[in-house]
Structures are given as structure tokens and as C-alpha cells.
Amino acid sequence: MVKNVTFTDARDGVADCLKCSLRESVLFANLEEKDFEKLHDPIDQYTLPVGSTLYRAGDKGERMYTVRSGVLKLVQYLPDGSQRIVRLIRSTDITGLECIVGETYQHDAVVLHETEVCALPVRVVESLSKENPALHRELLNRWQRALKEADAWLTELSTGSAKQRVARLLLRLVKDTQMSECNLFAREDMGAMLGITTETASRTIAEFKRQSLLVETNTNHFLLDIPNLHRIAED
Amino acid sequence: MVKNVTFTDARDGVADCLKCSLRESVLFANLEEKDFEKLHDPIDQYTLPVGSTLYRAGDKGERMYTVRSGVLKLVQYLPDGSQRIVRLIRSTDITGLECIVGETYQHDAVVLHETEVCALPVRVVESLSKENPALHRELLNRWQRALKEADAWLTELSTGSAKQRVARLLLRLVKDTQMSECNLFAREDMGAMLGITTETASRTIAEFKRQSLLVETNTNHFLLDIPNLHRIAED
DNA sequence: CGCGTTCTTGAGATTGGTCAATAGATGTGG
DNA sequence: CCACATCTATTGACCAATCTCAAGAACGCG
């Protein structure tokens, strides 16, 4: 089911953080040139194909990851073995923060759309943040952002009818893109995000298509009728 | 609906953090005597009656709160006005962490069982944490704990049948008590925690009572049949 | 082009929601 | 301490949404 890609397979090379095209929005955004000089351990960069696993719940966390592009799901498993997706990680997000407090990873992180990440060794982040208040503050910000996101999943994506949940998920997916287009996920994943079955997810998407709330331009690539989806989402 | 208790009404006095009976488990657990000397602003203590509001979503956050005893709900509202409870805050928990990153409060915090809190001004926590790595680390821990809790609500309390959710909530409520007894909440609140209606919450509790999974010793105070509730929860 | 996987759709069973009535509990004032 | 008013919990009947199981269609890969 899950493709077996090891890290070394996927390694692209060493990142040049100073010249990073995402500098503005990344954890290290506020570091200065002198700080980067302290980065003796190089920051590795990887490209991960769809279906590969970045880390697993329970693994000892030694690195956190900045996502440069792509989408990952954070998955937790229920006692009965079914999966529940608790968050999506996208461009400029950080995942694996928990290792800075010495925890093992709390989720499986699985690639939904091809993903590029930079691997930040905990030690590096830890030592930089000790000397650098800006980085330190940014860490807290990230944590708060994750928490906000978790709350939103509960209130928006796990409450109300299937139609409402699907509509809210769609709106959430385009919000960051500024355009009315979005790439959807496998129906099974949508179900696991919304707490509904695969079939209900499929039926709902199909119905939205019939009502022209969605227009499929490519496989799983859609243009959205945002105003009407809003109507459904809030109804 | 919400009782109107102002802060000044409820103020008990000034806390003596050094002699705090919760020192072991509190945010300030690892501070030393010399640190406390820096606490020029006194830490105020309050007792809040059931139904009162500690803070509201959107308020400018100037204090975080350590809960000494009692239970609070953190509530968010949906566009249609219905409420969703995203977390419970109990003894030794901290709430309002978000103000340290300069955010307004993200939830309404409403008292479910009479609650005693200590109010920690952001400035104080901020300045102490700058000089004290232990406190600083404890802040990160608290954030991570909140995040873990948020994830658990999603996977445990918003997934599966109504019976499973209620059973999981009950187990979660006793887990910290070490005993098989617990104080339940109004059915409406249970519904808002589990994403089900008041009626379904009531029916489920009533059914559990009939099956002797719950024995009511006082109004809303129950002894639980933990093994069988586990069976239902995991089923 | 054929195979395996995922998506879609149907039919029927079940759960949970809705609306409404009743029973209990809590609180108030006399 | 009782009677009344109010609020919350429980229960019933009915209905709608969602799940389950199953089959066929579409798609993506080799």
C-alpha cells in the first residue's frame, strides 16, 4: 500500500538556507547571516513521492521538517485500525515540532502530493533557538498555528452534515491558493479527514459535480464555485 | 444563560506561589526561590462559579491561567451559531497560552465545575521565561500537551458511533482520577463535545445506565464499569 | 491491452436527528 | 416547608442522513 522509499533514495542534496526561496515564510525567516554561520551541520533536502512516509508515529524524533512544496497528511490510528487524518501539512508549514520537547512523533506523516522537505535536526534548532529570540518566538508561533488548525478541523471538518464538511474542506483547500482551483485527494483520504465513509465522500463530490459546484479540469483537479460552496458550508 | 460574575467579585486574593500546593505540576514547577523574587506583580487567585466565563474568544489576551481545581470548557462557535467544545481544562492545566504569542483568546472559556484559577500576566511569564530555560521548556511542553489533547479529541471523541464516543469520553474523564467515578456534565455539553445532539447524548447515557455500565451515586455522579466501557469504546 | 485499484452508484439496514410531550430537578418566594 | 415557575433530562414517533454491502465503471500502470 505505502510505497517504500527510503530517505537516502530521495535525498536531493544540501539546502542553502541563506538563499532559500522561501526565506520569508520559513522557520528561519528571522535569522541573520551570522546565525547561518553556526549551521555547521548541513540541512538536507528531500523529494518524496506520493504515498511515501516521512516518519511514523512512535519513531524517535530527531528532525523536524519544513515543507517546501506538496502536501502531507498526519494520520493517527484508532484501536480498531481505522485511520483518522488530523491535519494537512503544506508549503511553508513545519511538521515534527514535537521532537523539540523530546517526544516521539505523534502521527504517521504520509505524502499526498509530491513533496519537497528540508530536514532540520532537533539539535540545530534547539541550539539556534537558545541564542536567537526571533527563532524562538517563531517556534511558539508555529505551535500555536498547529493548535489553531487542530481546533478548526474539529469545528469545521468534524461538525455538521457530510455536505457541509466536504464544502468546508474544499474552501479550506483553496483559501491558500487565492484561486478557485484545487487538487483533490483520494476519496478514502477525504473520508478520513471528515469522519465520513469513502462512499459518502464520493457521493457528495459526485453530487457537487452534477450541481456544477465543481468543474473537473483534470483528474482530481477542480474549479470551485466558491460563493455557492460557502452557502452550503454555512447553511 | 451565563451567570454574570465579574473578576473582582470572584477574586480570592494573592497567591503565594512559593508555597503553592500544586508546585510539583504547575508551570512554575522548576523555578527557584530567586526567580520568585522577581515576581513583583503579585499572582491573583480567583474562584469561579459554574456557568461563569473566564475569558471570551477575541478578547485581547493579557493573562494566562493555571487551573488549581475544577473544570472549564473551551468553546468555539460555528457560523450557524451552534457551539462546539474543543477541549476541557482541568486541574494543573494551563489555558490562554495563546496570549504569549500575542493572539487574542481563541475560545470562550466557561466554567463547568466550580473552578479556582491563578492569573498569570503575560508580561510576567514572558520575562521569566526569557531568563529561565526550565520555565521556557515547560511552556513548550504545555503547548505540545494541548496539541496532543486536540488530536485525541478528533480521533477519539469525533469518530465512530455515538455509543463509542460517549464511552470514550467517560473513560477519558476517569483516567486522571484513578478511580472509577466521575462527574458528568449537562447533556447539552456532552453533545457539544462529541458532535452529537443533546437527545442522543441523553439516550446513550440512559442506555448505559440501564445496562449498568454506569451507576448513578448522586446527581450526575457515576461509578463506571471500566472494562465493559472499554469494550464498547474499542469495539 | 489487461490487471488491479479507486470511484461511483444502487438498495436496504441502521443510526442519529427532529419535533414534541412528559417527567425530574432546581430554585424562588411566600 | 410547600407550591409554582423554570430548566434539564428522558422518552417516543417519525424521518432523513449516513453506513454497509455489493456490483459495475473508470482510471492508471506496466
The pLDDT of residue A156 is 96
Q: Could you tell me if A95 and A66 lie in one domain?
A: yes
Question: Is the CB atom of residue A142 positioned under 7 angstroms from any atom of strand C?
Answer: no
The last residue of a domain, from among A130, A156, A182: A156
CB B163 within 8 A of CB B230: no
Identify whether residues A148 and A178 lie together within a single domain.
no
Nine-digit cell string for A196: 465520513
Q: How far is A134 from chain B (nearest CA, A)?
A: 12
Residue A9 and residue A95 in one domain: yes
Structure confidence by residue, pLDDT tens digits, B123-173: 989 988 888 888 888 889 999 999 999 999 999 999 999 999 999 999 999
- CATH number (domain holding residue B200): 1.10.10.10
A186 CB and strand C closer than 7 A: yes
A27 and A130: one domain? yes
Q: Are residues B108 and B176 in the same domain?
A: no
Q: Round to whole Å and give the CA distance between B186 and B194.
A: 13
Say yes or no: B168 and B146 in one domain.
no
Residues A208 and A149 in one domain: no
Percent share of chain B, pLDDT over 70: 91
A152 and A67 share a domain?
A: yes
User: Which residue in this structure is represented by grid cell 508549503?
Assistant: A91
What total number of domains does chain A contain?
2
Q: What gap in Å lies between CA B68 and CA A70, rounded to an integer?
A: 44
Give the closest of B103, B144, B195 to A101, CB-based.
B144
Same domain, A97 and A111: yes
Domain boundary among A126, A156, A186: A156
* Inter-residue contact B116 to B47 (CB < 8 Å): yes
Strand C positions closer than 7 A to protein CB: 6-10, 15-20, 25-26
Does residue B6 carry a pLDDT above 60?
no
As a three-state string, the secondary structure of chain A is CCCCCCHHHHEEEECCHHHCCCHHHCHHHHCCHHHHHCCCCCCEEEEECCCCEEECCCCECCEEEEEEEEEEEEEEECCCCCEEEEEEEECCCEECHHHHHCCECCCEEEEEEEEEEEEEEHHHHHHHHHHCHHHHHHHHHHHHHHHHHHHHHHHHHCCCCHHHHHHHHHHHHHHCCCCCEEECCCHHHHHHHHCCCHHHHHHHHHHHHHCCCEEEEECCEEEECHHHHHHHHHC
Residue B180 is predicted with a pLDDT of 87
Nucleotide nearest to A203 (CA to C1'): C8
**Claim to verify: residue A124 and residue A39 sit in the same structural domain:** yes
pTM: 0.91
What pLDDT, on the 0 to 100 scale, is given for residue A118? 92
Among chain A, residues having any CB pair with chain B shorter than 8 Å are: 76, 78-80, 82, 84, 86, 97-98, 100-101, 103, 106-107, 130, 133, 137, 139-141, 143-144, 146-148, 150-151, 153-156, 158-160, 195, 233-235
Output the average pLDDT for chain B: 88
pLDDT in tens, B13-68: 677 777 777 776 677 777 777 777 777 667 889 999 999 999 999 999 999 999 99
Residue count (chain B):
235
Whether pLDDT at B112 is above 90: yes
Q: So what's the pLDDT on residue B218?
A: 87
Looking at the fold, whether B66 and B140 belong to one and the same domain comes out as: yes
Write down the pLDDT at residue B79: 78
Measuring alpha carbon to C1', the residue closest to nucleotide C26 is B219
Question: Which has more pLDDT, B41 or B107?
Answer: B107
- Is the CB of A203 less than 7 A from some atom of nucleic acid strand C? yes
Query: Domain ends where: A123, A156, A189?
Result: A156
Exposure b/e, B207-223, CB count within 10 A at least 16 = b: ebeeeebbeeeeeeebb
Closest CA to A112 of A186, A197, A26: A186
d(CA B1, CA B104): 24
Flag residues of chain A having pLDDT under 70.
1-10, 13, 24-25, 40-41, 176-178
Nearest nucleotide over every DNA/RNA strand to the B207 CA, judged by C1' = D10
- CB–CB contact B153 A155 (8 Å): no
Q: Are B133 and B89 in contact (CB under 8 A)?
A: no
Evaluate whether A111 touches A50 at the Cβ level (below 8 Å): yes
CATH code at position A45: 2.60.120.10
CB-nearest partner of A140 from B86, B100, B153: B100
Answer yes or no: do B160 and A78 touch at CB < 8 A.
Answer: yes
Report whether pLDDT(B95) > 90: yes
- Shortest Cα distance, chain B CAs vs residue A172, angstroms: 15
Instruction: State which residues form the domain around A222.
Output: 162-234
Cross-chain residue pair A144–B103, CB shorter than 8 Å: yes
CA distances in angstroms from B112 to A117, A180, A204, B70, B85, listed in the order given: 43, 42, 38, 8, 12
CA distance A199 to B221: 40
Do B65 and B166 lie in one domain? The reply is no
Buried b (16+ CB within 10 A) or exposed e, A43-76: bbbbbbeeebbbbeeeeebebbbbbbebbbbbbb
pLDDT score recorded for residue A3:
41
In 3D space, the residue among A62, A110, A59 whose CA is nearest the CA of residue A89 turns out to be A110
